Amino acid sequence: MAAESEGAIDPIHQFVIEPMFHLGGLTVTNSAAYMIAILVVATFVMIIGTAPKALVPGRLQSLGEVAYEFVANTVRGSAGHEGMRFFPLVFSLFMFVLIANLIGLIPFTFSVTSHIIVTFALAAIVILTVILYGFYKNGLHFLGLFVPSGVSPVLLPLLVLIEVISFISRPISLSVRLFANMLAGHITLNVFGGFVAMLLASGTWAVILSPLPFAMTVALSALELLVAFLQAYVFAILTCVYLNDAIHPGH
Amino acid sequence: MASTEQTNTEVGHEGGHASGVFPPFDPSTFGSQLLWLAIIFGALYVLMSRIGLPRVEGILAARKAAHDSDLAEAARLRAETEDAIASFEKALAEAHAHAEEIGQSTRDKLNAEIIAKRKAFDAELTANLDAEEHTIAANKAKAMQNVGEIATESTIAIIQHLTGQAPSAADASAAVSHVSNA
């Protein structure tokens, strides 16, 4: 950007949302472009890759099958067979978050999931689904979710309050966990990467220190790869756990 | 929030971002992000639930069906093989028994034949023996008779030699038969 800021570490700039071009009446920002990329990648793996419908799968079809079975097992394990009606939702959430996180790990890219509004919207989809389906399937009995059984009447109001707070905090924790992980990881990577550039540009004896932050960047990249997958998995499994509450509200 | 304020000013300065707030907390971008998220996530959901996931489900089901039918076919073939082995062993046992039977009956038949032949031979032998014995007896009687004649002649000769006179043949014969019968 500006010439005077050359060499300075600006770990926040990677999160800036800027318009890239206009598509009809819509402004395509970098965030929107990366969302489109997510859709393209997911479609490529799950629809183009599985098009051969081969009995013995190729690489891309194997990838699609592995993703399917992984999420299907997660849903079955956490929400039971009834939870499979939400399998497309959980799968879409998992793929969206996973691909967003993985694309964001490529240097100079933008991470869609590093914006709280996106992760919060995803969490809101989950919680709204839980609430709507919970009332649709169980009626007012769904409120039994907040009433632990076998508790003395004296403690009950307190426990109900705790349960309600815990329920309300779910969308917040779900969205903030993903957002904060992505944000912190990218800032850290950027800072250590910036150290390498700064040390190299310093032109003094400090140049010899530059491999240290570079090694750190490499190690952090590996860690962030793990985090990218893990956060997508955590998001999916927590979605399953919350949906399980809507399906079986009994405590 | 002091650090946030600090970064805000930096971003505003270097990123050229108009509002100057920390980008993830910039409400001016929320509308656009939510709109695009709704479009993209909606499209993703529809594509996955309508096309992608049913297709993978179909692939997995087809593979499972193929697996199961292959396993069933293998089980069927194995059962067939076992049947074939069992019937082969049964046939073998039957053939064994049959061979045993044939051997036994052949042996019995041959034994019977041998016994019959031996009996016939024995009978023949006995008959021959009897015939020979008769012949021997006849020859012996004849010989004995000749012996009497020879003895009579010898007696006549001996007496003639001793006495100088020949006894009658009848007397000699009577004497010899008297001696020989004694």
Contacts of B52 in chain A (CB under 8 A): 42-43, 46-47, 50, 64
Residue type, B7: T
CB A105 within 8 A of CB A224: yes
| Angle of the A116-138 helix axis to the A211-247 helix axis, nearest 10 | 20
CB A114 within 8 A of CB A104: yes
Domain ranges of chain A: 15-247
- Give per-residue pLDDT as tens, A93-107: 999 999 999 999 998
- Give per-residue pLDDT as tens, B106-155: 999 999 999 999 999 999 999 999 999 999 999 988 888 888 788 888 88
CB A54 within 8 A of CB A61: yes
Per-residue buried b or exposed e for A74-102, using 16+ beta carbons within 10 Å of the residue's own CB: bbeebbeeebeebbbbbbbbbbbbbbbbb
Give the integer Cα–Cα distance in Å for A200 and A1: 19
- Percent of chain A residues past pLDDT 90, beyond the cut: 60
Residue type, A230: L
**Closest C-alpha to A90, from A198, A226, A246, A238:** A238
Helix (H) or strand (E) holding A32: helix A30-43
Judge whether B180 is closer than 8 Å to chain A, CB to CB. Answer: no
Helix (H) or strand (E) holding A28: strand A26-29
- Give per-residue pLDDT as tens, B163-174: 888 788 888 888
State how far Cα B132 lies from the chain centre: 58
Q: What is the dihedral of CA A91, A96, A98, A104, to 10 degrees?
A: 180
- CA–CA–CA angle A154, A155, A159 (5° rounding): 145
Q: Indicate the DSSP class of residue B48.
A: I
* Closest residue in B to A57 (Cα–Cα): B59
pTM, full prediction:
0.73
Residue A2 predicted with pLDDT over 80: no
- Give per-residue pLDDT as tens, A180-210: 999 999 999 999 988 898 888 887 888 888 8
**Which residues on neighbouring strands pair with residue A23, listed in sequence order?**
A26
Helix (H) or strand (E) holding B57: helix B53-163
Residue type, A21: F
Cβ distance B48 to A68 less than 8 Å, yes or no, reads no
Q: Indicate the DSSP class of residue B98.
A: H
Cβ distance B55 to A50 less than 8 Å, yes or no, reads yes
Residue B50 predicted with pLDDT over 60: yes
Backbone conformation region of residue B165, classed left if phi is above 0, alpha if psi is from -120 to 50, else beta? beta
Contacts of A15 in chain B (CB under 8 A): 22-24
**Closest C-alpha to A190, from A15, A21, A18, A48:** A15
- Percent of chain A residues past pLDDT 70, beyond the cut: 96
Q: Which two tokens stand for residue A145?
A: 């979710």
- Give B182's pLDDT tier (boundaries 50, 70, 90): low
- Give B17's pLDDT tier (boundaries 50, 70, 90): very low
